[in-house]
């Protein structure tokens, strides 16, 4: 009985039950002055991680969209990710230079372009969208 209970605890604390489950996490912002002093370069970075127990298929078509004010302002393809592999995705925006920079709010949206085998390639959608206010 004790052995059965220990096995149940281990099973509950193990990796995700999903074969592949991509999640968007840890948004970051770096501001660099442009060579044209009227502008600043905003480098927005976020991690896309396969939180599942299997790798994705090599032929997968997927991307990460950067959304600001309801409009997609950048798109980046995401390669197939192995189990527990993290891919840092970065976008650059050029905005007018201001002395007092206000926070910016952006949304990162992971998109699985080919839904043919969605249950295997990204079995949950609840962690595919992340809105962040960055300063």
**Which H, E and C letters describe the chain, residue by residue?**
CHHHHHHHHHHHCCCCCCCCCEEEEEEEEEEEECCCCCEEEEEEEEEEEECCCCCCCCCCCEEEEEEECCEEEEEEECCCCCCCCEEEEEEEEEEECCCCCCCEEEEEEEEECCCCCHHHHCCCCCCCEEEEEEC
Give the integer Cα–Cα distance in Å for 118 and 125: 10
Q: Indicate the domain borders of the chain.
A: 18-134
- Rounded to two decimals, what is the model's pTM? 0.83
- Token pair of 98 as six digits: 């201001």
Give the burial class of 32: count Cβ atoms within 10 A of its Cβ; 0-12 exposed, 13-18 middle, 19 or more buried. exposed
Residue (of 105, 72, 77, 84) closest to 23 by Cα position: 84
Domain 18-134 matching CATH 2.60.40.10: the answer reads yes
- Token pair of 66 as six digits: 């950067």
| pLDDT tens for the chain, residues 1 to 135 | 433 333 344 344 445 578 999 999 999 999 998 999 999 999 999 999 999 999 999 989 999 999 999 999 999 999 999 999 999 999 999 999 998 999 999 999 999 987 777 778 888 888 999 999 999
Q: What is the pLDDT of residue 16?
A: 55
């Amino acid at each position: 009985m004790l052995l059965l209970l220990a096995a149940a605890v281990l099973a509950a604390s193990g990796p995700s039950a999903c074969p592949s489950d991509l999640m968007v996490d840890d948004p970051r912002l770096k501001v660099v002055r442009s060579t044209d002093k009227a502008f600043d370069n905003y480098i927005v970075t976020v991690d896309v991680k396969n939180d599942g127990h299997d790798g994705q298929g090599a032929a997968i078509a997927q991307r990460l969209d950067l959304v600001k004010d309801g409009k997609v302002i950048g798109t980046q393809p995401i390669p197939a990710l192995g189990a527990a592999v993290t891919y840092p995705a970065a976008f650059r925006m050029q905005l007018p230079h201001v002395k007092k920079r206000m926070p910016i709010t952006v949304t990162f949206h992971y998109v699985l372009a080919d839904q043919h085998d969605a249950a295997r390639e990204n079995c949950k959608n609840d962690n595919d969208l992340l809105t962040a206010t960055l300063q």
